[in-house]
Structures are given as C-alpha cells and as structure tokens.
Amino acid sequence: MVAAAAMWSIAGVVTRMLESVQSFELTFWRSFFTAICLVVFLRVLQGPGVLQRLAKAPKQLWLSGVCWAVMFTAFMVALTLASVAEVLVTMSVGPLLTALVARIFYKQTIQLPTWLAIVIAGAGMFWMYAEPQSAISTSSAFTLAGLPWGTLIGFLVPTAAAVNWCVVQQAQKTGDSLDLLPAVLVGAVISGFLTLVLAWPLHSSPHDIAWLALLGLVQLALPCTLLVFCARILSAPEISLLSLLEVLFGIFLAWVGAGEEPSARVISGGALVIVALVVNAYGMKTKSLESTKS
C-alpha cells in the first residue's frame, strides 16, 4: 500500500516536466495508456474474455466507471490549473465526503470521530483558501472572478470517489460484488474518448507522450492493481490512512523535483486536513476492533 501511494504521488512532478500543459490532451494520453495496461493486466490475472465479462457486468460497475472517468479527468485538469499541494490536499478529503454522501443518500450513521474529523478538515480547507485576493492569485496558476478554479475542479475528484465508494458498498449489499480493475478500465476508456474529442487535434511531443505513458502504467494501472490485493488483507481504515502518504509524497516530489514550494497556508491547512483524516481512520479502526471483540 505504501508502494501504491508512492506511485500515485508522481503525477504532479511528472506533469511539471512536460513541454505542453494542454490539460485535455494530457488526460487523454494518460487514460489511453492506462486502458492498454489494464487490458493486459486483466488478461493475465483473469484470463481471456475481459470484454465479454464487461458486457454482462451489473449497471453499478458502469456507474463506478463513470466515477473513475470523472476522477481521471478532473485530476489532470486540476494539476494544470493549481499547485500540486493544493490539488492533493483537496483530494485527500475523500473519506470524509464518503461519510457525508453515505449519510445523506443512504442514511448511514456517522460516528463522532468522523464528525470531529469533518469539522477539523473543514477548518483546514477554509484556512487554505480564505485568503486575500492577491494571495489567491499567486498561489493558484489560474483564477477567474476571484475563484481558484484548479482547486474547485480538483474537488470533483474526492466527490466522485465518495459516490464511487457508496456505489460499491450498495452493490455488495445487494449481492453484486464489483471488481475494481474492470471499473477502472471503463473509467479510463470513457475519460480517453471524452478528452480526445476536446483535445483534437493532438499536439503532444514524443517527450510528453513518453512521460504520460509512464503515468498510465506506473501512476494508475500498477497501483490500482496493487490496491486490489491490499484490500484483501488490510481494513478500510488502514487503506485510508496509508493512502494519505500520497499527499506527503506528492508535495515533497513537486517541491524537490519541480521547485514548486507550497505556501505556508497550504502547509498549515493541509496539516489540519491530515490530522482530521488520522482522527477519522483511528476512530474507524477502534470501532472495528470493538466490533470484533464483541
């Protein structure tokens, strides 16, 4: 799981190494190479008949695929409009949004540690972005009407992830177990087709395509495959907690590898978000242990 988080974290620094920053074209190439790699992985892990199984898959898998497509697209677009630190910290609130979505749409109870984590994370996000207009303009790569659009688009990633997780949970309750890798494949294909239309004609250099092929394999296909195996051993709180390493690794790599130093507000606000997620994961872990003992 630590290796998966490390591989997820390379997207920011790799994006800063590209010669072009056309967000839709970057998203297309990453999704294209991810889809190719996943087809190969699924063929090796599950044998032939991948497309036939997809055709017979439950509708929840396709809905999950749409969520993955939103996550793939919004993430790359956000990286071209905001700093790596801002995007990663914004993405990290996914577990807390999942709890809220489950509460609103599925009437699931939210435990006290999660409520506390939501309040702390909200304070951290407010501190990060409730700054003067001049500061916003210097901390984000693109603003319009005073709004940090890179961060707002990045917020679509944890939102789609929250919906995705709830869809998976509901499918399990109804007896339709969803396989992660085919859903990711569907998301990559949808994202690739949509962004190809928006990016055409393509202008990426061979240099950029090589880096984006690396992202498709190392930053998405491999860690998603590792996650499948980790989920069989680790609990959900453990996975959520270890996933936070992506934020730390990603900010560090962008700082060292691309000279993108995070602002003091991003560091302090991001620290509050991380504390909130640790509180939430610890509370979930404690509850899980108590349930096991009982």
- Which distant-in-sequence residues (6+ apart) come within 8 Å of 291 by Cβ? none
Cα dihedral: 175, 223, 280, 126 (round 10): -120
CA 207 – CA 17 distance, rounded (Å): 10
Tell me what pLDDT residue 57 has: 81
CA 151 – CA 78 distance, rounded (Å): 6
Tell me what pLDDT residue 185 has: 92
Per-residue pLDDT of the chain (294 residues; tens, 9 = 90+): 889 989 999 998 999 888 876 779 999 999 999 999 999 999 888 888 887 888 788 888 899 899 999 999 999 889 888 888 888 888 878 777 877 777 777 677 777 777 787 788 778 777 776 654 434 344 444 444 556 777 888 889 988 888 888 887 777 676 666 778 898 999 999 999 999 999 888 888 899 999 999 999 999 999 988 887 887 787 666 777 677 788 888 888 988 888 888 888 888 887 887 888 777 777 766 666 666 666
The structural domains of the chain, with segments of one domain joined by +, span 2-293
Residue 148 pairs with which residues in a beta bridge? 143
Tell me what pLDDT residue 211 has: 93
Closest CA to 270 of 82, 92, 29, 53: 92
CA 278 – CA 158 distance, rounded (Å): 17
Helix (H, G, I), strand (E, B) or coil at 201: coil
Tell me what pLDDT residue 127 has: 77
Question: Angle at Cα 202 formed by Cα 54 and Cα 157, nearest 5°?
Answer: 50
Tell me what pLDDT residue 139 has: 43
Q: What is the per-residue burial (b if ≥16 Cβ within 10 Å, else e) of 80-111?
A: bbbbbbbbbbbbbbbbbbbbbbbeeeeeeeee
For residues 179 and 61, the answer to whether their CB atoms sit within 8 Å is yes
Cα dihedral: 139, 100, 65, 212 (round 10): 20
Tell me what pLDDT residue 4 has: 92
Would you say the pTM of this structure is higher than 0.75? yes
Where are the alpha helices (H) located in the chain, listed in sequence order? 2-8, 11-16, 23-46, 50-55, 59-79, 84-91, 94-106, 112-129, 133-139, 149-154, 156-173, 180-199, 206-214, 222-230, 236-243, 245-258, 264-293
